[in-house]
Amino acid sequence: MNPLLEIAEVSVGQHYYWELGGYELHGQVLITSWVVLAIIATLSFLGNRDLKSTPDGFQNFTELVTEFIRDLAKTQIGEEDYLKWVPFLGTIFLFIFVSNWSGALLPYRLIEIPNGELAAPTNDINTTVALALLTSISYFYAGISKKGLGYFSRYVEPAAFLLPINVLEDFTKPLSLSFRLFGNILADELVVGVLVALVPLIIPIPIMLLGVFTSAIQALVFATLAGAYIGEALADHH
């Protein structure tokens, strides 16, 4: 087996594998990701199928979400460049938000699969690493597309001896993004699972409500940091 594939394969817990072209895919992550994408697509369709100049009904909700994401991008990236990054930050935020809430609110564990169990897509470290790598690629693209190869001069600012630290910083950004999100979602689902097993009725409810709140915060933190990294790459360094 290719040693690079062995390094790339990261597994926590049991998984329901699908075989595709000689590769093993985490089937349960794809299933729940499709559920999340279907929820987002359905809500988007309901809110935008009959657009009006004076919004009402569900259009109010979708416009509120759009305004929130646009304000987030404007705050983190800046007035000049933020608009083109609204779709990316919006996609990241909505996917993580709906993923986290689906894990907290949908009864995935009642659905039996041949191996492992269904959970939020963000409960799998491969998903969070993929999202973090997308963010890293995005801020490199943002910096290089605006400044060309001059973007890499940031590594020797404000002094050349800081080069190793500045390079290391770019490696730690995706690590911190992925493990923060994965750790919080995994810990929340483990705590709820243990409490439901020990005290099935009333006690787990406050913990589940807290999980819903922290799930929303994690989506906001991820999107905010992604925007901040892109804004940093686009900023003029002197």
pLDDT digits (tens, 9 = 90+) for 11-29: 555 666 677 777 777 778 8
The C-alpha atoms of residue 92 and residue 100 are separated, in whole angstroms, by 12
For the chain, report the end-to-end CA distance as a whole number of angstroms.
47
Q: Do 196 and 204 form a contact (C-beta atoms < 8 A)? A: yes
The C-alpha atoms of residue 135 and residue 225 are separated, in whole angstroms, by 9
**pLDDT for res 159:** 75
The C-alpha atoms of residue 179 and residue 187 are separated, in whole angstroms, by 12
**pLDDT for res 87:** 93
Q: Residues 229-237: what's their mean pLDDT?
A: 83
Tokens, residue 47: 């809110």
Tokens, residue 54: 């004076």
Beta bridge partners of 23: 20
Q: pLDDT band for position 8 (50/70/90)?
A: very low
